[in-house]
Amino acid sequence: MDYCKYTLEEYNQVMNLRKNFGWGPTKISSFLFDKGINIKEGAIIGWIHKNKRPYEEVLIKKIPEESKILTEEKAYILGVLCGDGYLTFQKEKSRYLIGLDVCDEDFADEFRRCLKEVYGLLPSKILRNRRVTNFSKNPKLMYCIYLTSKLVVEDLLRYSKSFKTKEWTVPEEILNSSIEIKSAFLRGLFDSEGTIIDLSKGRAILQLCSGNDKSLLVIKDILLNDFGVNTKIDFNNNKVMQLRTYRYENIKNFSDKIGFTIKRKKEKLAFCLSSYKRKGLRKYNQDFKANVLQLLSQGFSAYKIGKILKFPHTNVYDFVKQQNRLIKE
């Protein structure tokens, strides 16, 4: 129940009615509704019978001092907040909330895990029905994660003044961080706003959409400079900017260095990569392939080997596949 979203004043009104008149949750909810105060019956049940508390009493829960450090888990949280996640900050109403409402439970669970890992507070998780609309006759259930904490909200706002669609920025701390931190941030953003589309006949599109053009251009540079993922700018039918790539090497680099958390997206990504038909492999002789595999065994990355031998590094993966097939045979 959303009893945490109410104020201490509303809580006191309910408890005074309970104390003075002995009313039950239904009558209290109805009485207050007639006075223009909308408190759900479920919230009142939580307060009266389950010793729950309203919003303001959970705001002061302390968080670990180390939670201020930028870890991969925190970077993932920030990436999600720049996408599907949301952060509510209403100081005048003492409302502080971090949340995520999505259809993929594994996505919701990862966001929840990261919040718990960073701040030591376990967010609430509820399953919510969605209303039928003209656009969706059979809407999917929503997994809703939310955490009410003033200290957590204040900490996250150190990285971006706002996480609204048009206002979020890539934090300077992310830009100046390690590859691992950048990867976690991008994974959170791609879990939210990214997709992989199978075009059949050995082609696919990896894309990322956002209504925030300025920040998306920063993401474009990070993808290229730090991960070797070269994307082009495009606009969809609603004139929303998106980054797109069709090329195997870009999608492969994304898969190897960033990837998705969401299972259905991971499986789609793997399928799309496997559908690409690689050409021109026969022009490399066995000695060249043996040299490539030797460098790989010595710990060089495919990208580095491509630089050293001056050939498309994505072919390294195909050489490995060929070798594995020969071993099996």
pLDDT given for residue 87 in this prediction = 94
Q: Which helix (H) or strand (E) holds 204?
A: strand 203-209
Question: Would the pLDDT of 288 be above 90?
Answer: no
Average of pLDDT values for 49-72? 76
Q: How far apart are CA 170 and CA 246, in angstroms?
A: 25
Average of pLDDT values for 251-273? 94
pLDDT given for residue 50 in this prediction = 67
Q: How far apart are CA 101 and CA 2, in angstroms?
A: 14
Question: Would the pLDDT of 324 be above 80?
Answer: no
Q: How far apart are CA 81 and CA 171, in angstroms?
A: 12
How many CA atoms does the CB half-sphere of 318 hold within 13 Å? 18
% of the chain at pLDDT higher than 70: 87
The conformational region for residue 197 under phi > 0 = left, psi -120 to 50 = alpha, else beta, is beta
Q: Which of 162-200 are b and which e, b meaning 16 or more Cβ less than 10 Å from the residue's Cβ?
A: ebeeeebbbbeebeebeeebbbbbbbbbbbbbbebeeee
Q: What is the number of other CB atoms lying within 10 angstroms of the CB of residue 210?
A: 22
What confidence tens digit (pLDDT) does each residue in 203-259 have? Answer: 899 999 999 999 999 999 999 999 999 999 999 888 899 999 998 889 999 999 999
What confidence tens digit (pLDDT) does each residue in 127-172 have? Answer: 887 666 655 666 778 899 989 888 999 999 999 999 999 999 999 9
35/70: higher pLDDT: 70
How many CA atoms does the CB half-sphere of 224 hold within 13 Å? 13
Q: How far apart are CA 199 and CA 239, in angstroms?
A: 22
Quick one: how many helices (H) and strands (E) in the chain? 14, 8
pLDDT category, 1, cuts 50, 70, 90? very low
Query: Tokens 């021109």 — which residue?
Result: 280
pLDDT given for residue 5 in this prediction = 64
What confidence tens digit (pLDDT) does each residue in 64-92 have? Answer: 999 999 999 999 999 999 999 999 887 76
By CB atoms closer than 10 A (0-12, 13-18, 19+), residue 310 is exposed
pLDDT category, 180, cuts 50, 70, 90? very high
pLDDT category, 3, cuts 50, 70, 90? very low
Average of pLDDT values for 278-293? 74
Cβ contact 313:305 at 8 Å: yes
60/86: higher pLDDT: 86
Q: Is 149 helix (H, G, I), strand (E, B) or coil?
A: coil
- Picking from 143, 123, 126, the residue whose alpha carbon sits closest to that of residue 77 is 123
Radius of gyration of the chain (CA): 25
Question: Would the pLDDT of 56 be above 60?
Answer: no
- Picking from 82, 112, 279, the residue whose alpha carbon sits closest to that of residue 193 is 82
Q: How far apart are CA 28 and CA 49, in angstroms?
A: 14
Q: How far apart are CA 257 and CA 183, in angstroms?
A: 7
Q: Tokens standing for 12? A: 């006191």
pLDDT given for residue 277 in this prediction = 64
pLDDT given for residue 167 in this prediction = 95
Helix axes 41-49, 8-21, angle to 10 degrees: 70
Question: Would the pLDDT of 192 be above 60?
Answer: yes
Distance between first and last Cα of the chain:
59
pLDDT category, 301, cuts 50, 70, 90? confident
